[in-house]
Structure 1
Amino acid sequence: MAYLIAVLMAALSFIVNKALLTRIGVKTVITYSPVIEESAKTLLSFYLGADIFLTHVVFGVIEAGYDWLTGGRGRSKAALLSVAGHSLFGGATVVTLRETGQIGLALTGAIVLHLAWNLLAVKRLRVS
């Protein structure tokens, strides 16, 4: 189930992020995208009883494949960071959920972490 959710949410994320990037620009990366991605992956996995961590990792691998195919010179770094980042977000979600029993708190933590991760990446790459 986690694999199916990851594939479906990666496709949804691609479509929504592409539309938002066209309308809003790079600010989408540090605003809407983390909220959409984390909510979609986490809540669907949670309510369908799928492995939340595995869903996040597989999503990261799919995103890494996209980064590899479209990333140009920095594609290997981008791909590695996609897997590492989404694994980190998934791990944080699972640990917070296990410790608190609160899916809302676990989701909020993952979103904040993802927002910070993307903000750091955008600043590091000096994208405006």
Structure 2
Amino acid sequence: MLTAEFSGGIAGRVLLAAVSAAGLSYACNRLSRSRAGGGAVVFVAPGLEESFKTGAALLVGAPVLLTHVVFGGLEALYDLGLGAGRAQPHAPTAATGAGPGPTGRHAGAAVAGLVGHALFGALTVAVAAAWGWWPLGVGVAYLAHVAWNALVMGRASRRVGSDGP
């Protein structure tokens, strides 16, 4: 059962922090990608997102890990809700039947986003707890996020460039 404090206080602060971080991340990621191209997804977006998530949580007194998880949920909803209208680089065709199709790809991205942001949050909290310094936790989570985005972007570019499934 939810306590009155959680249902009104903590939940509200978590939502405020996560929605604020998501909005700032969305705006700044779009701007950085328009100026720096795809490299911004790998190197700039993780720094913005990790800083905004943790910073917003600390600013409003929300639990950092829970803020990261809710942010991941918001990203998952974005992937599911807006994904259907995006162009598919390797969608199945009537001739080949190749590729997982748009629905599977977006569902996979949604799950990966939710789990990834939860893990980045856990890493942030664990490092900050061990060393007593939030910026170090954010920095370590940033490096993990960069590695993840580089892996995902590399796989996506190979899939787009291939002729097969």
TM-score by length of 2: 0.73
Indicate the SS of the match to 1:31: helix
Is residue 21 of structure 2 the alignment partner of residue 9 of structure 1?
yes
Task: Give 2:143's match in structure 1, choosing from 87, 112, 122.
Answer: 112
User: Which residue number corresponds to residue 157 of structure 2?
Assistant: 126
Task: Give 1:63's match in structure 2, choosing from 61, 72, 75.
Answer: 75
CA contact (8 A) 1:59 1:86 kept: yes
User: Which residue number corresponds to residue 90 of structure 1?
Assistant: 121
CA contact (8 A) 1:3 1:54 kept: no
Could you tell me how far 1:106 is from its partner in structure 2? 0.7
Q: Which runs of 5+ in 1 are unaligned?
A: none
Greater RCO structure (CA 8 Å; 6+ sep): 1
CA contact (8 A) 1:89 1:110 kept: yes
- The structure with the largest helix share of the pair is 1
1:28-62 Cα offsets, whole Å, 9 max, x none, are 11111000110111122124321000100000000
Could you tell me how far 1:121 is from its partner in structure 2? 0.6
Higher radius of gyration, 1 or 2: 2
Q: Which runs of 5+ in 2 are unaligned?
A: 1-12, 85-101, 161-165
User: Which residue number corresponds to residue 132 of structure 2?
Assistant: 101
Relative to structure 2, which stretch is displaced further, 86-95 or 99-108? Answer: 99-108
